[in-house]
């Protein structure tokens, strides 16, 4: 079976080209030049100064689990995340595979003061301009779908737009994608080909990064369901924890996050 990631990227190339026909890059450039463009917030600083570092994700479905919370309203969930104590929020904007949209990001930007991550499969600088205009503060680059050269080009372009960069890797071979424009390094515990999850990836790669003496801020992504796991990962040097399904699945994301954060403080 063709792996899920390949399917997503093939679809993304078609999607981006169609969007460029609807809204040409020149139009986005004009909007980016307007003096009314809002300033961005630092997700790296928010995570570094937080006692918990939870990046709460808004996620309606996934390719591996199907629908998680199909009727979820971003304008209700993300403000509830902020009240519950999230350090930042991640908004999935892929529609076909994850049930999200760029409109979700636009809607919630006016409602919260938290740093927002556009969680997307970014393959083109056009998507960076979209993210900046929609209200994102940080963008995700996935090493598995980019060459190191493409990663550097996109990271530089993101910084030129005042966007921070979270680079996601899954294995040691992808450490070569690190560059001076990467603000945060996310270790994805989920294999993007099979969508199987193992927290062992975070522990193993954290040790490798200590050997490299890298000062990049570490984020653990996927498969985190217990507050005690966050407490343990913090002792390994992680300062960010991207968590979505754990909060979204119960139907009361804000309340679940509140309980989760209390659990972190008790586990310390």
- The residues carrying an active-site annotation are 57, 59, 119, 168, 188, 221-222
What DSSP letter does each residue of 211-238 carry, written as one string? HHT--PEEEEES----HHHHHHHHHTTE
Alpha helices (runs of H) in the chain, residue ranges in sequence order: 4-22, 25-32, 43-48, 74-84, 102-109, 125-134, 148-160, 200-212, 227-235, 245-248, 253-267
CA nearest neighbour of 142 among 243, 12, 44: 12
Neighbours of 138 (CB within 10 A): 26
Do the beta carbons of residue 239 and residue 53 sit within 8 Å? yes
Q: Measured between alpha carbons, how far is 23 from 153 in angstroms, rounded to an integer?
A: 22
Phi, psi for residue 241 in degrees, rounded to 5: -140, 105
């Amino acid at each position: 079976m063709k792996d899920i990631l390949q399917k997503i990227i093939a679809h993304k190339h078609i999607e981006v080209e169609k969007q460029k026909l609807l809204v040409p890059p020149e139009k986005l450039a004009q909007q980016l030049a307007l003096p009314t463009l809002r300033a961005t917030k630092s997700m790296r600083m928010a995570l570094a100064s937080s006692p918990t570092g939870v990046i709460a994700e808004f996620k309606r479905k996934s390719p591996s689990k199907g629908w998680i919370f199909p009727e979820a309203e971003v304008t209700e969930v993300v403000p509830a995340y902020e009240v519950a104590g999230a350090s930042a929020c991640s908004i999935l904007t892929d529609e076909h595979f994850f049930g999200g949209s760029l409109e979700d990001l636009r809607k919630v930007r006016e409602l919260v003061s938290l740093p927002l991550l556009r969680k997307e499969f970014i393959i083109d600088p056009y998507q960076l301009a979209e993210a900046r205009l929609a209200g994102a503060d940080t963008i995700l680059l996935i090493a598995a779908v980019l060459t190191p050269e493409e990663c550097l080009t996109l990271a530089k372009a993101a910084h030129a737009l005042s966007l921070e960069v979270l680079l996601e890797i899954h294995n040691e071979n992808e450490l070569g994608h690190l560059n001076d424009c990467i603000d945060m390094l996310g270790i994805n515990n989920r294999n993007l080909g099979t969508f199987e999850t193992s927290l062992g990836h975070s522990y193993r790669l954290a040790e490798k990064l200590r050997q490299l003496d890298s000062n990049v801020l570490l984020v653990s992504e996927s498969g985190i369901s217990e507050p005690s796991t966050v407490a343990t990962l913090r002792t390994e040097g992680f300062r960010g924890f991207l968590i979505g399904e754990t909060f979204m699945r119960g139907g009361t994301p804000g309340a679940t996050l509140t309980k989760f954060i209390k659990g972190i403080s008790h586990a310390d």
